[in-house]
Structure 1
Amino acid sequence: MVLRTLASPLPVAWVTADSADGQDGRFRRLLEQTGTGYVLAVPTSQFTVGCPRIDGLFARAPDEAWEKASCGDGAKGPRLYHWAAVRLPAVAEFDYQGEFPCRMRWALARRSIRRPDEIAYYLAYAPLETTAHQLVRIAGARWAIEECFQAAKNECGLDQYEVRRYVGWYRHITLAMLAHAFLAATAQQARAKGAEPVRPTGPLRSPWRRFGDSWQLVGPSPHTCADTAADATL
């Protein structure tokens, strides 16, 4: 799938993924061979250029290397973490064009503000002019993408396919994502006109009520039951 996507006429500037893909060295080499930038999550035991283990690398980072930054907006506002980024040694085979460098390697760490022992790690491959703040933003883009895919699954049946060939799969997800984009644009237009957003109903109120030292089930009143029965007979 990755080979077909990179070979397609669609522009692909960056790739981001979780540690299941990020730890795969062949996947990273594939992106580097095509000149595609990436910010990939990796496990704490990840080995890389000039870095025996990525968690050990950031364990030696000075306090001033950590900077509070947002990697994007979440449901409750900006997602703030402490971030640290360090440039890694270059690899001549992939990072140079002739004698001149064209790409740069980074290692990033994202540390929880409230729980400093919770740290996530990333490897990045980027053009020379890329800044650490841009890499943070790209790392945070994965949450928005995952939310988009989850919404498309719930609303447009993105995952409701049974195909074994790439063409059939590609047609299905293209149609599903097009439908999702239409729904998102329609909802945004409605909000722009002042319409109230549709909110899901809350959980059903429990019929359990405490009376003295025991619990009882509270049902509808006799009048309500009589009115409902009368409506049903009409």
Structure 2
Amino acid sequence: MALGWSAGFEAFIGRFAARFPRVESRRRMRCYVRGLLGEVERKNGWTLAEAAGDAGPEGMQRLLNFYAWDTEGVRDDVRAAVVEQIGDAEQGVLIVDETGFLKKGTKSAGVARQYSGTAGRIENSQIGVFLAYASARGRALIDRDLYLPKEWTSDRERCRMAGIDDEVKFATKPVLAQRMISRAVEAGVPFGWVTGDEAYGGDTKLRLWLETMDIAHVLAVPKNAMVVSMELAKVRVDRLVAEVSDDAWERLSCGDGAHGPRCYDWAVVDIRPLRRAEWGHWLLARRSISDPSDIAYYVCFVPVDTTVEELVRVAGSRWAIEESFQTAKNETGLDHYQVRGYEAWYRHITLSMTAAAFLVIIRDTAKKGAPATPTATP
């Protein structure tokens, strides 16, 4: 098993060799990713250096801060490796979400006092917006962008001190999400759906862009979101769902959780009568079984033959990105970095995603009972 794992790792790492023009940077990358897959509790420059047999963290720091290598190219290769292993053109789901990285001080790129879902409150933190890919065979993070608050982008000198180019302008989190979905489309990633929470579903520009791209989506929206009813009136989603009859609700599972099937009551309401042929606009509601006042809402743009069960599956798949965050933080050091620079953040996060992708590949391969030896690409 150990020999199989090592052979698989070497083949996997070989996929990225062309992104590192010098032998030293390639070797450092290999040691860095292998260290991220190790069993040490904290995976920072010191512990990764120790695992590699180095006397200090300087070599690992050079990899993140000074060596010339194609960070975005590695990201593209990670995405390709993931979809090659677990891709599903019909049921694959792209999921957008964010996670916070608690930080001290004011110099780390993008750090600010801002709401962090990780902490559940306003904290001094960086916020990364991520794109995950999920199918029945697994899930993994495939893209990332660092959110820069306006207090950063309006202070160009502060940006320069953190290595942020003048060309990097303010972008909202939904705009960052749209850019990542667009990159996935341009790369030919096979998927059938997009989903995300209220921070993204509540942005009408993102939803309309997805429609123009003919991308089916099930996006959560806040209860006060406005939609157009079949009577051509603007109505709050919670008020529209309040009119649903008791027999319109259907109990379904949106996937298995830690304690078994995640069952809720679900209802679908037609919205937006002015539609394009072959596409439907629906409002999906999810009601807690134990607390009927706890209702979540989703705006759906889908092919007209889509079943309620499929809508429920896509809505439930959003939790895959939470599981991907947990895996990457617990197993591949996603939040263990000690860097301040803009590019260094992207490099560490990308290498952590690389390590997490390897875990997805070997786990899916193990399910099939085949040797864990992912094919290297030239």
Q: TM-score, normalised by structure 1?
A: 0.69
Alpha-carbon distance in structure 2 between the residues aligned to 1:39 and 1:111: 16
Alpha-carbon distance in structure 1 between the residues aligned to 2:191 and 2:363: 28
Alpha-carbon distance in structure 2 between the residues aligned to 1:65 and 1:34: 31
Task: Please name the residue that 2:224 is paired with.
Answer: 45
After TM superposition, the structure 1 = structure 2 runs for residues 5-154 of structure 1, keeping only pairs within 5 Å, are: 5-7=181-183, 8-9=186-187, 10-50=189-229, 51-91=234-274, 95-96=275-276, 101-154=277-330
Secondary structure of 2:318 counterpart: helix
Indicate how the Cα distance of structure 1 residues 176 and 124 shifts in structure 2: closer, same or farther if over 3 A, else same.
same
Indicate how the Cα distance of structure 1 residues 105 and 154 shifts in structure 2: closer, same or farther if over 3 A, else same.
same
Alpha-carbon distance in structure 2 between the residues aligned to 1:84 and 1:176: 39
Secondary structure of 1:69 counterpart: strand
Structure 2 counterpart of 1:23, one-letter code: G
Identity percentage of aligned residues: 46
User: What are structure 2's unaligned runs of at least 5 residues?
Assistant: 1-175, 370-378
Task: Please name the residue that 2:93 is paired with.
Answer: none
Structure 1 counterpart of 2:271, one-letter code: L
User: What are structure 1's unaligned runs of at least 5 residues?
Assistant: 194-234
Please identify the structure whose Cα radius of gyration is greater: 1
Secondary structure of 1:52 counterpart: strand
CA contact under 8 A between 1:88 and 1:106: conserved in structure 2? Answer: yes
CA contact under 8 A between 1:16 and 1:40: conserved in structure 2? Answer: yes
Deviation for aligned residue 1:175: 3.8
Indicate how the Cα distance of structure 1 residues 31 and 190 shifts in structure 2: closer, same or farther if over 3 A, else same.
closer
Secondary structure of 2:227 counterpart: coil
Give the aligned length.
184
Alpha-carbon distance in structure 2 between the residues aligned to 1:185 and 1:14: 22
Alpha-carbon distance in structure 1 between the residues aligned to 2:317 and 2:192: 13
Once the two structures are superposed, residues 143-179 of structure 1 have per-residue CA deviations (whole angstroms, 9 ceiling, x without a partner) of: 12211122112221334476646xx83x655543332
Q: TM-score, normalised by structure 2?
A: 0.44
